[in-house]
């Protein structure tokens, strides 16, 4: 019985200690929260968010860290690409400096409090559509101010930007899609943008598993000045993403079937020259099959008003098929003289004899020149 009483006493003591600890923690949290409120009240007492920091002096430096979390889609028809980015902006506003609060590294602002702070009004000049979403889910931005007066603004954004594409080398092309950002309100004399933590930017991994036709090659970051009018210039940052098209799909769906059809078109060369109907029927069948195959594949190709790489390949194939068919139908039938004792050779047989060597040789020569030239220009390899 004494043992049971001891266990009850121990449980009561533990419960009392936990209760006291919780009350002390709650009191400490309330005390810190009150201290934060008083600090913010003191900061905003004489703060004027309409004026930029160091007004009339040197421009405010906005340090930007932009990481691309994923590239969700690339539209060749609309010439745009959609990515999920995380944007961090940092700048110094000495008017927001405050004394260190024990246990508090920085103060996170509520949305109404953040509205009172000056900001550079960052936007994306080449933006098409953007959807802002924060990590917490109920705010579009996360604001932090540090005792030194540094401000950090974090934004997670689903961004669609214009991407000017050149399809001259399609499907061996590499597209460069850019994200530009700058201030929509302040000129370069007031605000200057610069890239921040490049190690974090370059070390981030883009999740491009949703890009079946493209491969991420590289990213390049730069800064420039954009002129508007005669006297106005704006500081602009640009992040270029290099996307190389993968050849595997087009190799299987276009190149290999087309090469196979062309080789099949040589079958009439080994059929008796007198069998015109059989030769012509095989040729017409191959032409129709090749045309249907190319038309079906080209439905998904990007549309352009100029000649593309793939147009050179498919155009040559169809042209060769038509020439072969014309030869099958209209080769001369006259008999050519031959040495004594040898069978007389007709004109069509003579043409077939030369075609058996010239057509495959010319075809493989074309393939060597075609792939050699375009692969060297595009810098790709199979």
Domain boundaries, the chain: 1-46, 60-246, 249-378
Q: What is the pLDDT of residue 18?
A: 52
Q: Between β-strands 80-92 and 150-162, what pairing exists: parallel, antiparallel or unpaired?
A: antiparallel
Q: Between β-strands 214-228 and 80-92, what pairing exists: parallel, antiparallel or unpaired?
A: unpaired
Determine the Cα–Cα distance for residues 363 and 210; give it in Å rounded to an integer: 37
E strand spans, 209-340: 214-228, 232-245, 335-336
The reported pTM is 0.76
Task: Indicate the CATH number for domain 60-246.
Answer: 2.70.170.10
The CATH architecture assigned to 249-378 reads Up-down Bundle (1.20)
**158 or 273: whose pLDDT is higher?**
158
pLDDT category at 153 given cuts 50, 70, 90 is: very high
Is pLDDT above 90 for 178? Answer: yes
pLDDT in tens, 293-325: 777 777 778 888 888 888 888 775 555 555 554
**329 or 75: whose pLDDT is higher?**
75
A 10 A CB-CB count for 373 gives 12
Closest CA to 44 of 96, 108, 90, 107: 96
Give me the percent of the chain exceeding a pLDDT of 70: 75
Q: What is the pLDDT of residue 200?
A: 59
Closest CA to 64 of 223, 290, 232: 223
Q: What is the pLDDT of residue 314?
A: 79
pLDDT in tens, 255-294: 988 888 888 878 877 777 677 777 777 777 877 777 777 7
- Asked if residue 66 lies in contact with residue 204, where contact means CB atoms within 8 angstroms, the answer is no
Lowest mean pLDDT among 28-32, 38-42, 121-125, 370-374: 28-32
A 10 A CB-CB count for 9 gives 10
């Amino acid at each position: 019985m004494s043992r049971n009483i001891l266990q009850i006493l121990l449980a009561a003591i533990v419960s009392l200690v936990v209760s006291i600890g919780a009350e002390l923690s709650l009191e400490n949290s309330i005390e810190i929260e009150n201290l934060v409120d008083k600090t913010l009240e003191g900061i905003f007492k004489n703060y004027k968010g309409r004026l930029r920091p160091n007004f009339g002096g040197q421009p405010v430096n906005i340090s930007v860290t932009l990481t691309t979390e994923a590239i969700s889609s690339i539209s060749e028809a609309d010439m745009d690409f959609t990515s999920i980015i995380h944007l961090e902006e940092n700048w110094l506003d000495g008017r927001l400096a405050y004394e260190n609060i024990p246990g508090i590294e920085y103060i996170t602002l509520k949305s109404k409090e953040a509205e009172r702070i000056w900001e550079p009004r960052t936007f994306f000049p080449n933006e098409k559509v953007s959807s802002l979403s924060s990590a917490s889910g109920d705010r579009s931005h996360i604001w932090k101010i540090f005792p030194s007066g540094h401000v950090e603004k974090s934004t997670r954004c689903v961004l669609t930007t214009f991407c000017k594409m050149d399809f001259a080398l399609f499907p061996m092309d590499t597209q460069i899609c850019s994200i530009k950002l700058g201030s929509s309100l302040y000129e370069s004399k007031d605000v200057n943008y610069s890239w921040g933590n490049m190690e974090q930017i370059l070390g981030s991994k883009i999740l491009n598993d949703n890009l079946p036709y493209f491969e991420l090659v590289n990213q390049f970051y730069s800064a420039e000045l954009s002129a508007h009018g005669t006297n106005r210039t704006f500081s602009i940052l640009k992040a270029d993403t290099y996307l190389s098209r993968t050849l595997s799909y087009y190799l299987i769906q276009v190149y290999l079937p087309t090469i196979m059809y062309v080789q099949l078109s040589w079958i009439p060369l080994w059929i008796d020259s007198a069998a015109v109907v059989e030769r012509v029927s095989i040729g017409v069948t191959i032409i129709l099959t090749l045309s249907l195959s190319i038309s079906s594949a080209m439905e998904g190709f990007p549309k352009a008003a100029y000649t593309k790489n793939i147009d050179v390949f498919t155009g040559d194939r169809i042209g060769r098929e038509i020439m072969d068919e014309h030869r099958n139908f209209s080769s001369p039938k006259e008999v050519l003289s031959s040495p004594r004792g040898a069978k007389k050779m007709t004109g069509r047989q003579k043409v077939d004899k030369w075609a058996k060597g010239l057509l495959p040789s010319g075809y493989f020569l074309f393939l060597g020149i075609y792939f050699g030239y375009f692969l060297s220009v595009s810098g790709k390899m199979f």
